[in-house]
Amino acid sequence: MALEPIVLAKSISKTFSGIRVLDNVNFDICTGEVHALIGENGAGKSTLVKIISGVYFPTTGTIAVDGSQVHFRSPHAARGAGIALIHQEPLTFQDLNVTENLYLGHTRVGKNPFLNWTDLYRKTDDLLENLGVRMRSRDPVRGMSIADQQMIEIASALSQNARVIIMDEPTAALSHGEVTTLFEMIRRLKEQGKAIVFIGHRLDEILEIADRITVLRDGALVGECPTAGTTTDTLVHMMINRSIKELIVKETVPIGEVILETRGLTYPGQYYDINIKVRKGEIVGMAGLVGAGRSETASAIFGTQPAFSGEVFVRGEKVNIKTPLEAMKKGIAMVSEDRARTGLITAFSISFNMTFAVLRNIVSKFGFVKSKKEDELVKKYVKYLNVRMRGADQSVRELSGGNQQKVVIAKWLLTESDVLILDEPTRGIDVGAKMEVYKLINELAKQGKAILMISSELPEILQLSDRVYVMSDGHVTAEFNRDELDGQKIMTAASTTRHRSVV
Ligand SMILES: Nc1ncnc2c1ncn2[C@@H]1O[C@H](COP(=O)(O)OP(=O)(O)OP(=O)(O)O)[C@@H](O)[C@H]1O
Ligand SMILES: [Mg+2]
Q: Class assignment of domain 5-240?
A: alpha beta
* pLDDT tier at 503, thresholds 50, 70, 90: very low
Looking at the CA of residue 45, tell me the nearest atom of ligand 1. 21
Is the C-alpha dihedral spanning 184, 189, 195, 199 positive or negative? Answer: negative
Domain over 258-494 is classified CATH 3.40.50.300: yes
- The alpha helices in 196-231, defined as continuous H runs, are 203-209
> How far is 357 from 390, CA to CA, in rounded Å?
23
For the chain, what are the domain ranges?
Answer: 5-240, 258-494
Is residue 388 lining ligand 1, measured as CB closer than 6 Å? Answer: yes
pLDDT value of position 74: 93
Per residue in 104-158, pLDDT (tens digit) is: 766 555 455 567 888 889 999 998 888 888 889 999 988 888 888 888 888 888 8
Cβ distance 86 to 167 under 8 Å?
yes
47 touches ligand 1 (CB under 6 Å): yes
Q: Which ligand is nearest to the CA of 239?
A: 1
CA atoms within 13 A on the CB side of 243: 6
What residues pair up with 311 in beta bridges, in sequence order?
A: 263
Give the Cα separation of 256 and 445 in Å (integer): 11
High-pLDDT (> 90) share of the chain, %:
47
pLDDT tens digits along 314-359: 999 999 999 988 998 899 988 876 665 557 788 888 888 887 766 5
Give 374-420 pLDDT, tens digit per residue: 777 788 888 877 888 888 888 888 888 788 878 888 887 777 789 99
Tallying the residues shown for the chain, one arrives at 503
Q: What is the distance, to the nearest Å, from the Cα of residue 4 to the centroid of all Cα atoms in its chain? A: 32
First vs last C-alpha separation in the chain: 34
Ligand 1 atom with the shortest distance to the CA of 405 = 26
pTM of the model: 0.77
Cβ of residue 406 lying under 6 Å from some atom of ligand 1 = no
- Measured from the CB, is residue 200 less than 6 Å from ligand 1? no
Strands 317-319 and 309-314: antiparallel
